[in-house]
Amino acid sequence: MKGFAVLKKIILLVLLSFILSGCINVPKKTFYSLGGKIKQMQMRSFETTNEQELLSACIGVLQDLGYQIKESNANLGMVKGFKKADATNNGEVAFNIISAIVTGRTNATDKDQDITVSIVTYPKNTDSSTAVRIIFNQKIRNTSGFTTKAKMVIDSAIYSKFFQLLSKSIFLEENKI
């Protein structure tokens, strides 16, 4: 009788894990190949030779997006920033609750994340423009305080949003609006 109760809990746990696996967000580009596509997503060229104004615009956009500037060096054309964000996954939390009911134990779930950003600017040799490359990295910690994931962000929407805001900022600055 006791063995049947344990078997029943195991079967219930397996069935619930299959049902809830559809609730877990899996990155769209899990097996994204490294190379030119990522670099292309991270870079844009701007028709200016004034790197300091470009870096200043980058800093303004980062601050508008909630980042704190950690380091900046206009001579090197470099900016680093960071922000903290929530990393709670509702599917993971729901699975943990059900697992706790069935097994009597809880597991750590993703809790928060640090997002760091690095920007480098450099003059392009071929014309009178300056290139900007930005890289976002993410480090996720669980409720126990351990790092569960550390990776480069490869979501093109994040990079597109940054460059769209940067273009607007440069336009407004050039036209003194």
Q: What is the pLDDT of residues 10-40, one digit of tens each?
A: 665 555 455 555 555 545 554 455 568 889 9
State the CATH class of domain 42-88+109-174. Answer: alpha beta
Domain boundaries, given as residue ranges, for the chain: 42-88+109-174
Task: Tell me the residue type at 123.
Answer: P
Q: What is the pLDDT of residues 44-82, one digit of tens each?
A: 999 988 889 999 999 999 999 999 999 999 999 999 999
Q: For the chain, what is the radius of gyration of the CA atoms?
A: 22
Based on the number of CB atoms within 10 Å of its own CB, is 95 exposed (0-12), middle (13-18) or buried (19 or more)?
buried
Tell me if 154 sits within 8 A of 32, measured CB to CB: yes
Q: How big, in percent rounded to 5, are the helix, strand and coil portions of the chain?
A: 45, 30, 30
